[in-house]
Structure 1
Amino acid sequence: MKFMVYKDSIGTKGLAVLVGNDWRGEAGTNQDSSLLDLALAEPSQRADILTHFAARPVIDLTEVELLPPISDPGKIICVGLNYSDHTDESGYKQPDHPTLFPRFASSLIGAGAPIIRPLISEALDFEGELVAVIGRGGRHIDKRDALEHVAGYSIFNDGSIRDFQHRTPQWTLGKNFDGTGAFGPIFVTADELPAGARGLRIETRLNGEVVQSSNTDKLIFDVATLVSTISEAITLEPGDVIVTGTPSGIGHARTPRLYMRAGDVVEVEIEGIGILTNPIVDEVAPLQRVAV
């Protein structure tokens, strides 16, 4: 099944399910928990879910605000250097263990919302990535069982402020500016995709031009490995988000460098999931105090 989370014109959140060719929505529920509950439903329950939503109103996606599929994840764990071509272009030695760093929910935005280029930097870069959403938590998860803990998949644009990212070896500050973590809009249950979401074309476009093009088969540490490895140290919980890494083509590695600017439009498309589209805007300067 495919889901989207939205907010209507009066500010009520809703959960939409794709029924045939229509998105049909139901408002007023706890979207994070409802989405996970429905995503984890037994196959025998799927027909009842679709029947329920078939009786709900059709949602005009042009009249609602699309939100991240999980609006307030307990953990957002990002993976760096997980495609060898991106590692090469970034000038790093390929690590033999997943390179992990956190994102915070305060940086998240939905599809259609503007990615914000901050006042203090011009180095806003794109990174199209596959997202795995945890449905069943656990610690010390065996790799053989790891995919059973994944509820489904979505899309991320890990907007990075490169000059701030590279001020320290930890990357965290440059990966967490407000309004830079685009997420969604579609969440696809794991059963609708190949195991571990392998073999999917992933592409990023800036103003219609392809700037990243790869395949999730090229992930060095696949989804099962990431879930198992992370759980060696950290208890994974339902709703936790794993952002699995970006392929080559980033703007920072180009000559001349290709950073995003106000007026640009960036799209990330993953086969079988959908397209995440966001415009770029400049941060608005705060009002200056006038001395009296």
Structure 2
Amino acid sequence: MPEGKIIKALSGFYYVLDGEEVIQCRGRGVFRKNKVTPLVGDHVVYQAENKTDGYVLEVKQRKNELVRPPIANVDQAILVFSAVEPDFSPALLDRFLVLIEDNEIDPIIVVSKIDLVPQEKRAQLDEYVSDYRKLGYPVMITSSVTEAGIEELLPFVDGKTSVFAGQSGVGKSSILNAINPKLDLKTNDISSHLGRGKHTTRHVELIHIGSGLVADTPGFSSLDFIEMEAERLTYCFPEFYELSENCKFRGCLHDKEPRCAVKAAVEAGEVPVYRYEHYKQFLEEIRERKPRY
């Protein structure tokens, strides 16, 4: 049986890439029975008599999957956050990073719209960029207007399956258009009334960029820690995980425990206060969702 990769799912059809050909397929009823929903990025077994009349028969084991956006087998997540309009939000970025780290996907941070940053906001933005780079995250400063930083992003995309994700209106589609103008993806400005971006991407689709595949995904503005246990959260903050070896108690949650190496590092200025505040906020959300008995 032939195999391929789902590159688009739309209106009950799955578009399977096999070599240079794309086969339009439907899902067999067995998926509904087994509660398996094929996702963009899935490696599948299919059968087809022609390019428009195929069926997905089997979904191969996934190495990872995301719920929002719905996509599987991602190598890396390119998290796009605008410098302004909407303003750069480290709190929202940390939410994205926790989700990505929990799924063992490599995150890359892209700051967009740098050409719009007023001088009085640049110092604060540079400080945030420096903090995340010190944590080991690749951070690129870009502008789809001046094309600053676009070439720097290209090597990260080659040979990988990447998901572009971020809040609505941050310029994900604009950056993809700057990388490859032939894409001509829809873009839209920030709504002046609502103060947030309008959704311009309506479905998940893998697009060829260089030698890689990139998913331009519907924008979303919030993330919930639906499945995460409190003990897992430390692993999603790389600097906390390294420091936790020096905590007095094994399994320290860096909250009310004495002789906590993470809290000591925050007090000493070795860890940004905002990162710790975000950690505590996320920890509280997880505790409220899953009461301790």
Q: Between Structure 1 and Structure 2, which shows a larger proportion of strand residues?
A: 1
TM-score by length of 2: 0.27
State which structure, 1 or 2, has the greater radius of gyration over its C-alpha atoms. 2
Q: Which has the higher contact order (CA 8 A, sep 6+)?
A: 1
TM-score by length of 1: 0.27
Q: Between Structure 1 and Structure 2, which shows a larger proportion of helix residues?
A: 2
